[in-house]
Chains A and B, each alone.
Chain A
């Protein structure tokens, strides 16, 4: 699923949801998504964020403030991709 993103530099980017997972340390679900420019640039990045749901049932993503959880989420992504690239 694709969505629009505005980053800290107010640049618009294209986000694509890859997967959703959960770690015991966090009550919220964590979303793994990619981020790429709208131009023909070959660069992209993998990102993680909290996945929240508002009162209307729509989802939205927020930053993971907790360093420990952020690191753990990154480790999970590494673990999953490691298994895929086996």
Chain B
């Protein structure tokens, strides 16, 4: 059942993908720019693949399985809702009612939910019957995919061929008909050579008074062949040789007509001989050597024109026949499709990874050296501070281009701070009287020292400030006590004075 579910899910996924692709295809319809055409091709190829996949499913079985899973989905939904009401009722503190479940059990359901529960239970009961029926229909089905044996499309190149070479016979072994045939062909070859340039030609007057040339050197050969043909035709009656086909017979009749004229000493005009000159062509057509393109024909003639006919047939079958061309086109199409559908991103990453991990140590060292150089270049800022008192002539004016020499604007306060620091630096430098120039490192050392001193000073200042505060506090105490003491003494003196004056008066 799991496998069935998996196959069904795959089917649903395919259907979903197909719909998406169809939508995309619809959006691209009517567009003719190269990108869109490419996309359409890709989508078409994908759709083709999906259709192939879908065709593997048995439709009858699929209908049954589809019906079952749809029913199951609905059944599961009802079960979940019933369970939810039961759970809610358990937690509920409201008034409850006893209701029959789908299985006929008594369930205590919240009064507010009891009506809905009853409806759901009824629906589940009905659904159970159909659900069980659907299950019975599919329980024996193990797979909805057709059991198709994939036929291997063996290219004919890999098939074994047995080549039957023609039996080599001498001219004397040939039958009379074959001898006549051979003689005629010889004559045709002689005529054919007359087309070649730069040959000494012999003019022959044809029977209708037209002139025609053949190579002078073949004149004797031509006469002998013609004589031989005449003798052969006077021999036994012609019987159609066993290897001749019907087409060959028709050509043969034309030839007979022509050669009979030749035999009578009359040579026909050029138009008459056109059929003779095209004999080889006709012969090839008899062998079904038809080509899909003129290029194929040209290639075939150039490369294999001199091969024996049996070999020509074999080569034609493998490389130039309709089946071969179809096979070639399919192969190219498959390759293109494969290239388009290939997860090239992943491939690129893998290639990049391989490339990076296989970088030779030498190159790695070089790269790291470049890195070092760059790093040192950025850090390389050499300079020296000069301990020098600038001696400008008094009452003179230095002329400079302010805009050109300016580094930055600065507030006077910041400028004063900078001047203080540089004054300190100068003082430090002057303490080291043996030196006039200080390197950058030495300058930084001086600056470090000054910063440290400043920190110490700050710390000391902080301590002093704290002490002053404490003293201030204490001093306030002493003053208060003094004032009180003075006030106390004055009051006491006043009291004593009043007492003494009263005594004296009294």
Known A45-B410, A77-B407: A20·B402 in contact at CB below 8 Å? no
Q: Which of B58-66, B263-271, B299-307, B415-423 contacts A (4 or more CB under 8 A)?
A: B415-423
CA distance A3 to B389 in the complex (A): 13
Q: Are B399 and A6 neighbours in the complex by a CB distance under 8 Å? A: yes
Partner of B386 from the list A12, A22, A48 (CB cut-off 8 Å) is A22
Chain A residue, CB-CB nearest to B393: A58
Q: Are B397 and A46 neighbours in the complex by a CB distance under 8 Å? A: no
CA distance A58 to B382 in the complex (A): 28
Q: Are A34 and B402 neighbours in the complex by a CB distance under 8 Å? A: no
CA distance A58 to B393 in the complex (A): 6
* A-to-B contact residues, CB < 8 Å: 1, 3-9, 12-13, 15-24, 29, 31, 34-36, 42-49, 51, 56-64, 70, 72, 74-81, 83-84, 86
For the complex, is B443 an interface residue (Cβ under 8 Å from A)?
yes
Residues from chain A with Cβ under 8 Å of B404 in the complex: 8, 63, 70
Classify the interface of chain A: helix, strand, loop or mixed. Answer: strand
For the complex, is B465 an interface residue (Cβ under 8 Å from A)?
no
CA distance A24 to B391 in the complex (A): 23
For the complex, is B245 an interface residue (Cβ under 8 Å from A)?
no
Contact with A along B375-390 (1 / 0, CB 8 A): 0000001111110111
Residues from chain A with Cβ under 8 Å of B426 in the complex: 19
Q: Nearest 6 A-B pairs (CB), nearest first?
A: A7-B402, A58-B393, A47-B405, A46-B407, A20-B386, A4-B397
Q: B384, B400, B406, B422: which has the most chain A beta carbons within 10 Å?
A: B400
Residues from chain A with Cβ under 8 Å of B447 in the complex: 83-84, 86
Nearest-Cβ distance from residue B452 to partner chain A, whole angstroms: 12
For the complex, is B437 an interface residue (Cβ under 8 Å from A)?
yes
Nearest-Cβ distance from residue B458 to partner chain A, whole angstroms: 15
Nearest-Cβ distance from residue B429 to partner chain A, whole angstroms: 10
Residues from chain B with Cβ under 8 Å of A86 in the complex: 447, 451
CA distance A80 to B410 in the complex (A): 16
Residues from chain A with Cβ under 8 Å of B388 in the complex: 20, 29
For the complex, is B401 an interface residue (Cβ under 8 Å from A)?
yes
Partner of A3 from the list B392, B403, B418, B419 (CB cut-off 8 Å) is B392
Residues from chain B with Cβ under 8 Å of A31 in the complex: 390
Known A29-B386, A74-B407, A79-B381: A60·B398 in contact at CB below 8 Å? yes
Residue pairs across A and B with Cβ atoms less than 8 A apart, 12 shown, are A3-B392, A8-B404, A21-B386, A42-B411, A42-B413, A44-B409, A44-B411, A45-B408, A46-B408, A46-B418, A60-B396, A84-B447
Q: Are A51 and B398 neighbours in the complex by a CB distance under 8 Å? A: no
CA distance A47 to B388 in the complex (A): 18
Partner of B397 from the list A1, A5, A77 (CB cut-off 8 Å) is A5
Q: Are A7 and B401 neighbours in the complex by a CB distance under 8 Å? A: yes
For the complex, is B144 an interface residue (Cβ under 8 Å from A)?
no
- 10 extra A-B contacts, CB within 8 A, seeds A43-B409, A47-B400, A76-B381: A8-B403, A20-B385, A34-B419, A42-B412, A45-B410, A46-B408, A49-B405, A61-B392, A64-B405, A72-B381
Q: Are B382 and A34 neighbours in the complex by a CB distance under 8 Å? A: no
Q: Are B397 and A16 neighbours in the complex by a CB distance under 8 Å? A: no
Partner of B391 from the list A23, A43, A58 (CB cut-off 8 Å) is A58
For the complex, is B109 an interface residue (Cβ under 8 Å from A)?
no
Residues from chain B with Cβ under 8 Å of A43 in the complex: 409, 411-412
Q: Are B401 and A23 neighbours in the complex by a CB distance under 8 Å? A: no
Q: Are A5 and B410 neighbours in the complex by a CB distance under 8 Å? A: no
Residues from chain B with Cβ under 8 Å of A63 in the complex: 400-401, 404-405
